[in-house]
Structure 1
Amino acid sequence: SGTVGEVSRGPTAFTAEVRGLADRLNQPRGRVYQRSCDALLGDARCGVDAGAAAIRGAGTVATVRSARSVTASGLAAYVSRWFEAGRLVWTSGANAGAAVEVRAHGLAGGLASLDLWEPMPAPISPGDTFQVVAGCDKSLASCRDKFANVLNFRGFPDLPGNDYAVAYAVQGADNDGGRLG
């Protein structure tokens, strides 16, 4: 016995992961201490209003480069990389209601280029519309500089990293890295 885990779909079938009873032992309990923020952009712990015009944009597909890459109008007010790691939801067209994460966002000639992490299930067409929410890389710098929300940052940026854990002391070196007499 067990539970159904991750489910993914393909063009003609789907796959479902079956997890055993011991899988519950791998689930985190309580808060995880890590450098990055553990809140979701826009949730109650984050405090950012994800519906605000500064955070959310609306666009219309101008050209389709591939099943996961488009250029769009309507997003010229946002700087490059603003929507990276953000969430795009189609509001019209064959993919209406489908959501996908944005891999890359750039600007060129008044049009935004958006690369998506996954190809869409149906063809994207010029004129399709979407809503897209800014991406958050969960770093203290983004929380401070991009969202002005450092008071609600839910990470621990001063935790030592893996390099500190495997470092070793060097005898005879002073603080500047020079040798002592």
Structure 2
Amino acid sequence: MTTTTIARAWMVQRADGMVLGFTDHDAGLKFDGIQFRPDHGMSARALVQATGLSVDNSEAEGALSDDAITEKDVLAGRWDGAVVKMWEVDWTNVSARRLVFAGSLGEIVRSQGAFRAELRGLSEPLNAARGRVFHPRCSARLGDGRCRLSLTNETFMIEASIADIRDGHILRFAGFPAYEAGWFERGSLLVLTGKAEGLRGTIKNDTAFSNGVREIELWQGLGIAPVAGDRVRVTAGCDKRAVTCRQKFNNFMNFRGFPHLPSEDWIMAPQAGR
């Protein structure tokens, strides 16, 4: 291959199987059954690889176009962790190509109709903590394979229509079932209909008023704000304490913490007989 005919091509595959291809060449390329489009979508900075397997100072960026990567999909997290591969390819003979990067998308930042995404190499999972953490509070995520609690019944999950929304993150409901105040704090809210469909937020405050009025405040807005009439699914929250696991969820047999560990104060205090 000669340097005058080298182009870069990259493939992005979401967790749901959707595949997009882009190239910095001025014409489309095709190989491995993927059409690499030149007109819009994404570009990538040069890769700087450190000693070992880590990838430093690497980003992908592009426009939030309606037919490629949309702002709604980015906000909904559909591109989080997407598989990324990048090739250097001879555009006169696409069989002459070299894979220069394989990894995934990391943190995605939006700004003025565009996005910037961190590129993470194959070694990124090695940075994750391994093994169990010995802590009085539970290390499981509510409803996951270690928690084993089913969240499908109405005790822990409810669907409702938004009656009113203020400041993009305070939602009010009318005719809400009678849950005790704070039941959904630390829980999640998923938008089921409307322009914000698929977006998810974490619940900061859950306030119950008389006559079935409920106010749920999110920690931050959803990017695309839902509107009155949109349907949402609200899931109960867990503060990871043993007493909550026992009394609220009746799931203490699956509690993944160590509630009887002595505190740091006990360890530091002088002990009789020492």
TM range (shorter): 0.7 to 0.9
- In 1, the alpha carbon distance for the partners of 2:258 and 2:105 equals 30
TM-score by length of 2: 0.55
- In 1, the alpha carbon distance for the partners of 2:259 and 2:241 equals 8
- In 1, the alpha carbon distance for the partners of 2:238 and 2:160 equals 19
Residue 129 of structure 1 pairs with residue 231 of structure 2: yes
Question: Does the aligned pair in 1 maintain the 2:106–2:120 contact within 8 Å?
Answer: no
Seq. identity, %: 34
Shift of 1:123: 2.8
Give unmatched runs, 5+ long, in structure 2. Answer: 1-48, 50-54, 56-102
> Per chain length, whose mean CA-contact separation is higher, i.e. which structure has more relative contact order (CA < 8 Å, sep 6+)?
1
Q: 1:96 to 1:22 in 2, by over 3 A?
A: closer
User: What does 1:56-71 correspond to in 2, within 5 Å?
Assistant: 56-71=157-172
Aligned residue pair count: 170
Question: Does the aligned pair in 1 maintain the 2:206–2:217 contact within 8 Å?
Answer: yes
Residue 120 of structure 1 pairs with residue 222 of structure 2: yes
User: Which of these residues, 135, 145, 159, is aligned with residue 261 of structure 2?
Assistant: 159
Residue 34 of structure 1 pairs with residue 135 of structure 2: yes
User: Which structure has the highest strand share of the two?
Assistant: 2
SS in 2 for 1:141: helix
Q: 1:14 to 1:103 in 2, by over 3 A?
A: farther
Residue 92 of structure 1 pairs with residue 193 of structure 2: yes
RMSD of the alignment, in Å? Answer: 2.5
TM-score by length of 1: 0.81
Equivalent position amino acid for 2:243 in 1: A
Larger Rg: 2
Shift of 1:74: 4.7
Give unmatched runs, 5+ long, in structure 1. Answer: 172-181
- In 2, the alpha carbon distance for the partners of 1:44 and 1:21 equals 25
